[in-house]
Structures are given as structure tokens and as C-alpha cells.
């Protein structure tokens, strides 16, 4: 069984494992809590928050997804999503954030998945920074999503504590909710594909900087820096070099039709032609 009932069971199990209760939100005080939580997570410029209270109110009233994760009475995570195109098939997850705590993000995503399946949707999309290792691991390994489009400077200039000083390249992740890899992931079996023989390094690291390699093999590996967020603060030049190298190599391969099929434990995208 792969329908909404089973998805509710998986979502409930994930919430219990994280020690949270997840609920849809519809009232202004709850949206104000979400706003404060996101402010604590991203520390954005006051004029450019990830989402406003008014927008959450409008999205919720129009039937979109706004949900919060609670530990007792304390909000520890939240997610905001809206219907996308093609109509009736896609939910686009605009922003999800959580306080420090194991499993909260996973529980929110499984709740979002159950919500989407109950409404007849078959996939959820979102964007993430392709240079952040933990996000790539969470999206590709923990959830079984697949990156399907590289989006250079997607949000333009961003002014917050995480992104300041860097360009806002994003990867579009597509979570096909009933694919076998996703079904396994939501049951607790992360997606760790076997590395095909003959894979070559298209991008590696040397002395903290990216080094380009071969891209002509059937399978190539693209390394990421260990901690791009710290690198932005401590060595902005190196951070920019990584941004442009990943954009050129990974973005270029995807533009040519190559597919990202996995993410290794050592922090490499697996890309296949």
C-alpha cells in the first residue's frame, strides 16, 4: 500500500521519532511564531524575510500548506509550500526551517508528503544551495529526491547570515512521492546507490580549493567543500571559487542532459550521462 493512509503512518512514525507534533497552521499568532523561528534560523535582512506573516496567512487561507512542528508548546520547525504547475500534480515547498534537533526536518517533509498525496499530487519540488553538503545529503540520500535543474543566481542578491557574500545558485530538487527510492527512504532506508565502475573525478579539492578534472566519462564525481557556510566567512575567495567551479562543471553537465543519480558519503554528487 502506497497511498495516503500509509503515508500518514510514515509521517506519524517520523514525528514520534523526532519527539514532535506537526499540525497545519491557520491563525496569525502561529504565523508570527513561524516568522520568529525563521528569523532565528536565517537572520535575514529585516526587509527581506523568507516569508511574511501576511503571505503565510494568504497561502493558508487559499488552501496551501503551512505547518509547524511543536515540542510541547514550543515551535521547533515549520514549512510553507504552495501549489505549482502542472496544476493538480505539484506542490512547491518554498521554505522549511527547524531549530537544532535531530529528525525535525525529516518529520516535516514526511508530513508534507502525506498532505500532498491526500490531495492527489504526485511530486514535491524545492530549491536548495547545491554547495551545502548536509542539504545535498538530506535531499538525495535521506529523502530520495533527485536534482533536475541547476539554477544560477536564482534569487539574485540575498542578505542574510547564511548567504551574504555569495551568489544564490540553487538546485531544483524533485521528490517523486511514489518512486521506489522514495518509498524506501520514507521507510528509513536511505538512498545510497552503488557507485558505477569507471567513475572519474570531475571536481576535487586541493588545499581547500576546487580542482577541475575529467568530464568525459559516463559517470563523474563532483566534490563539494566540507563547510561552504564557514568558508564564506573565513575565505570568501575560496567560497567564490567553489561556487563558480560547481556552476561550471555540475551546471554544465546538467545543461547537456546528464543526471544526478546520488550523493556519496564523502560529499560527491554522482552524475551520469
**What CATH number is attached to the domain comprising 48?**
3.40.630.30
* Closest among 106, 108, 99 to 66, alpha carbons compared: 108
Cα 169 to the chain's mean position, in Å?
A: 13
Per-residue pLDDT, 1: 44
Count how many residues are written for the chain.
273
Do 147 and 19 reside in the same domain of the chain? yes
Of 186, 216, 238, which one is at a domain's C-terminal end? 186
pTM of the model: 0.92
Point out which residues pair with 209 in neighbouring strands: 206
**Cα–Cα distance for residue pair 259/269, rounded to 1 Å:** 10
Output the pLDDT for position 165. 55
- Of 186, 152, 181, which Cα lies nearest the Cα of 169? 152
Residues 246 and 157 in one domain: no
Of 78-82, 178-182, 231-235, the range with the lowest mean pLDDT is 231-235
Q: How confident is the model at residue 197 (pLDDT cuts 50, 70, 90)?
A: confident
Label residue 3 by pLDDT band (50, 70, 90): low
Q: Are 182 and 209 part of one and the same domain?
A: no
Residue 84 vs residues 100, 190, 200: alpha-carbon distances, Å: 29, 27, 37
Cβ-in-10-Å burial (0-12, 13-18, 19+) of 54 comes to exposed
Per the structure, how many domains does the chain have?
2
- Give the mean pLDDT of the chain: 93
* 195 lies in some domain: no
User: Do 251 and 178 sit in the same domain of this protein?
Assistant: no
Burial of 234 (0-12, 13-18, 19+ CB in 10 A): exposed
Q: Identify whether residues 246 and 116 lie together within a single domain.
A: no
Amino acid at each position: 500500500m502506497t497511498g495516503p493512509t500509509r503515508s500518514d503512518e510514515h509521517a506519524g512514525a517520523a514525528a514520534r521519532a523526532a519527539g514532535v507534533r506537526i499540525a497545519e497552521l491557520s491563525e496569525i499568532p502561529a504565523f508570527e511564531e513561524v516568522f520568529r523561528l525563521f528569523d532565528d534560523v536565517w537572520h535575514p535582512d529585516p526587509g527581506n524575510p523568507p516569508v511574511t506573516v501576511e503571505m503565510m496567512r494568504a497561502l493558508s487561507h487559499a488552501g496551501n500548506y503551512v505547518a509547524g512542528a511543536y515540542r510541547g508548546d514550543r515551535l521547533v520547525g515549520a514549512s510553507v509550500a504552495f501549489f505549482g504547475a502542472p496544476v493538480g500534480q505539484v506542490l512547491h515547498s518554498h521554505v522549511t526551517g527547524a531549530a537544532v534537533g535531530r529528525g525535525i526536518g525529516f518529520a516535516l517533509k514526511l508530513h508534507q508528503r502525506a498532505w500532498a498525496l491526500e490531495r492527489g499530487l504526485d511530486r514535491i519540488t524545492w530549491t536548495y544551495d547545491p554547495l551545502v553538503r548536509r542539504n545535498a545529503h538530506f535531499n538525495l540520500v535521506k529523502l530520495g529526491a533527485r536534482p533536475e535543474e541547476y539554477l544560477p543566481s536564482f534569487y539574485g542578491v540575498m542578505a542574510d547570515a547564511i548567504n551574504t557574500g555569495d551568489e544564490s545558485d540553487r538546485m531544483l530538487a524533485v521528490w517523486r512521492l511514489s518512486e521506489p527510492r522514495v518509498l524506501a527512504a520514507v521507510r528509513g532506508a536511505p538512498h545510497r546507490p552503488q557507485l558505477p565502475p569507471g567513475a572519474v573525478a570531475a571536481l576535487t579539492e586541493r588545499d581547500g580549493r576546487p580542482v577541475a578534472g575529467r568530464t568525459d566519462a559516463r559517470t563523474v564525481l563532483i566534490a563539494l567543500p566540507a563547510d561552504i557556510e564557514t568558508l564564506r566567512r573565513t575565505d570568501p575567495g575560496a567560497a567564490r571559487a567553489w561556487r563558480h567551479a560547481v556552476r561550471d562543471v555540475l551546471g554544465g553537465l546538467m545543461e547537456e542532459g546528464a543526471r544526478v543519480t546520488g550523493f556519496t558519503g564523502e560529499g560527491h554528487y554522482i552524475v551520469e550521462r
